[in-house]
Amino acid sequence: MDSYRNRLSYYSIVLQAVSDADMIFTNCFAGYPGSVHDARVLRNSTLALEVANHQNVLFPLQTYIIGDSAYPLHQWLMVPVKQHGPGPTQTQMTYNDVHASTRKVVERAFPLLRCRWRKLQFVDLDIPEDYPKLIIACCVLHNVCRIHDADDVDYFLGVDAVAVGAADPQDDGVQGDDEAVFFNPAAPAQLRRQQLIQYLST
């Protein structure tokens, strides 16, 4: 049971979700205990399996997902530039700023989901195996609400209900060292991110 205790010391189940610009979830995966790292959840998720088999179909024309620094860098998953040595360059800082600004959408989607379906905060089902089903069902209903009541966000969140775009406690820009090794499997992904950084600096 302790595996469900997360880094904030309360029990939880991980929901990994991808959101579009309208806060509609396009991919959801739930069920791992709260103590499991986001990178491991991603590695074992249906999303990773689908990308492994159909990356060119899912991400045509150099499209990609924006993820926070808890995730590894992939050609289809752009994460912030992590700080090494003296710190990021000005162009890297611009990239990180744009990255964080874009990520605010999904950072609002999660509290909106919790505010709509407050049952998610205190799940008391008799069968633990049903927890992921409840979570995914709430995500589906969330999408239905977003499609039909697109102007009700302020009703649920309000101005002070959530710090929109607040920094992720884990997103301090110093975790990992995916850029410390020059020759590594992530090299094509690093090249793509560098192209984004250069584009944003022009």
Q: Are 64 and 78 spatial neighbours (Cβ–Cβ below 8 Å)? A: yes
DSSP 28: E
Output 118 or 41, whichever has higher pLDDT. 41
Output 127 or 130, whichever has higher pLDDT. 130
Closest by CA to 166, choosing from 103, 115, 117, is 103
As a whole number, the mean pLDDT across the chain is 81
Question: DSSP strand E in the chain: where?
Answer: 13-19, 25-33, 65-66, 77-78
145-187 pLDDT per residue, tens: 999 876 778 878 874 444 433 334 344 332 233 322 223 345 5
The model carries a pTM of 0.77
CA nearest neighbour of 24 among 84, 82, 110: 110
Q: Distances from the Cα of 55 to the Cαs of 48, 50, 51, 58, 74, in angstroms? A: 9, 7, 4, 5, 11
In sequence order, what are the residues at sequence separation of 6 or more whose Cβ sits closer than 8 angstroms to the Cβ of residue 189? 73, 74, 75, 77
Report the pLDDT value the prediction gives residue 135, as an integer from 0 to 100: 93
Section 42-49 average pLDDT:
95
For residue 128, pLDDT over 50 is answered with yes
In degrees and rounded to multiples of 5, residue 165 shows phi and psi of 75, 15
Q: Which domain range does residue 22 map to?
A: 2-200
pLDDT tens, position by position, 55-98: 999 998 888 999 999 999 999 999 999 877 677 788 989 999 99
Contact partners, residue 20, CB within 8 Å, separation at least 6: 26, 105
> What's the total number of domains in the chain?
1
CA distances (Å), origin 72, targets 1, 65, 103, 159: 27, 12, 16, 33
